[in-house]
Amino acid sequence: MDSNNIQRPLAETRFKEELEALKANDSGGKPANWALSPRGVRAFILGANKPLLLGKEKVTVTQKFYGDDALVERAIVTLAGNRGLMLVGEPGTAKSMLSELLAAGISGNSANTIQGTAGTSEDGIKYSWNYAMLLAKGPVPEALVPGPVYIGMEKGLITRFEEITRCPLEIQDSLISIMSDRVLHIPEFGAEGVRFAMRGFNIIATANTRDKGINEMSSALKRRFNFETVEAVKSVQLEGRIISEQCADLFASSGVEMQIQDDVVEVLSTTYNELRSGASFEKAKIQKLDAVMSTAEAVSVYFQSALDAHYYRDGKIRMQNLTENLLGAVMKENRDDLPKLKDYFSGAVKLKAERLGGIWQEYYESRRVIK
């Protein structure tokens, strides 16, 4: 398969050279069946202090997750132990990205994943059967179709469980004995139906705090996980950097040649930060929105605005189009946020337009699209 035509390659493919450089220079102690040491995994996610040699080439290991460095360290230590890792937080706080990076750094494979939904079954988690072969030959090993947990246990890999609380409670609880005893029983195989987890196996689960109450985890399952809360980005400058870097990657993968407009990024990151926190530099009163004002949404708003500018205009993002995409992101969840967004433009944005002029004045004038 031509990886150049894949819309979004896995982390182990995108950062293959970095992983190889880290392996070549990794002198730290490694837990059994880990591709990198805990120090190496940390460097893969948070970046290395200096370029690493890979043969005769120097490879820069980039920072891929921005937030709490100590959280990343605790997550790595958790996965080296006997408990699973549960990443919780608001939607769009990069829980899934962190899960993918951890799996890529530890196992070299981030694709062993379960997507939790209301329709997720125990068969889809553990194993199922090729029923044609089952009817013809009975419960023989070749008739078994392994699921992500089975594969993770058999190969000693990290298994990712996205949005676990979206699954029914009884499906979630099917993990309890596996996480306690590291054993999977296959009754159809009789005495030969015991599968033991190989070293390196563990589970990373994610859950959105806004999903709380949908299918609340049982106390028994919670005890099998260490919980880490992934917070939203609080710095305007850091949020702007994330928007710039992720959109540059999106441009490259889409074959779009565009430069990042730093002034537009600043406007967008400031808007998201203020609407999320309810505070502005000018001390203007801001009502927090009920919509998810995540960095991931900000990236999407900028990227959509940039594509519009690329395909239909002169390549420069107009504030009217940015505001239209912002409005779409806000309105898709709750129309009650519309008056709050109007008040934000009438207050904080107006004050910035008066003080700074330029792009902020254009941004303020674009408020007419908010109806």
Q: Which CATH number is 174's domain given?
A: 3.40.50.300
Decide if 30 is inside a domain. no
Q: Crossing angle for the helix pair 319-331 and 358-365, nearest 10 degrees?
A: 50
Q: Is residue 201 part of a domain?
A: yes
More confident residue, 297 or 281: 297
**Gyration radius (Cα) of the chain, Å:** 24
Quote the pLDDT of residue 277.
85
List the one residue out of 370, 320, 324 whose CA is nearest residue 344: 370
If asked whether residues 104 and 129 sit together in one domain, one would say yes
Residues in the chain: 371
Looking at the domain assignment, is residue 207 inside a domain? yes
Residue 339 CB partners (closer than 8 Å, separation 6+): none
Q: Is residue 145 part of a domain?
A: yes
Does residue 299 sit in the same domain as residue 187? no
Residues 154-172, mean pLDDT to the nearest whole number:
95
Portion of the chain with pLDDT greater than 90, in percent: 80
Q: Is the pLDDT of residue 2 over 80?
A: no
Distances (CA, A) of 294 to 66, 212, 297: 13, 18, 5
For residue 155, tell me if it sits in a domain.
yes
In this structure, what are the phi and psi dihedrals at residue 212, rounded to the nearest 5 degrees? -55, 130
Residue 91 belongs to what domain range? 67-229
On whether residue 44 sits in a domain, the answer given is no
Is there a single domain that holds both residue 218 and residue 84?
A: yes
pLDDT, average across residues 253-280? 92
C-alpha span between 200 and 93 (Å, rounded): 26
C-alpha to C-alpha distance for 299 and 316, rounded to whole angstroms: 17
Name the average pLDDT for the chain: 93
In terms of domains, do 110 and 216 share one?
yes
Give how many domains the chain has, as a whole number: 2
**In the predicted model, what is the mean pLDDT of residues 326-341?**
88
Sign of the Cα pseudo-torsion (24, 26, 27, 33, in order)? negative
- 252 and 206 in a single domain? The answer is no
pTM of the model: 0.92
| Residue 250 included in any domain | yes
CB-facing half-sphere around the CA of 98: CA atoms within 13 A: 31
Q: How far apart (Å, rounded) are the C-alpha atoms in residues 278 and 55?
A: 51
Q: Are residues 112 and 216 in the same domain?
A: yes
> Same domain for 224 and 102?
yes
Amino acid of residue 149: V
35-93 pLDDT, tens digit each: 999 999 999 999 999 999 999 999 999 999 998 899 999 999 999 998 999 999 988 89
Structure tokens at 298: 């900000």
Q: Look at strands 127-129 and 144-146 and give their pairing.
A: antiparallel
Residue 178 has pLDDT above 80, yes or no: yes
- Report the SS3 class of residue 67: coil
What share of the chain in percent tops pLDDT 70? 98
Same domain as 221, residue 73: yes
**Domain ends where: 205, 229, 253?**
229
Of 161, 135, 134, nearest to 145 by C-alpha is: 134
Question: Which one of 206, 229, 252 terminates a domain?
Answer: 229
> Are 159 and 102 found together in one domain?
yes
Question: Would you state the pLDDT for residue 331?
Answer: 87
What's residue 279's pLDDT? 84
Is residue 31 domain-resident? no
Pair (81, 213) in one structural domain: yes
Rounded distance, CA 300 to CA 119, Å? Answer: 28
Of 200, 229, 258, the last residue of a domain is: 229
- How many Cβ atoms sit within 10 Å of the Cβ of residue 280? 20
Same domain? For 112 and 174 the reply is yes
Q: Is the pLDDT of residue 3 over 70?
A: no
User: Of 130-139, 170-179, 214-223, where does mean pLDDT reach its minimum?
Assistant: 214-223
Say whether both 249 and 214 belong to one domain: no
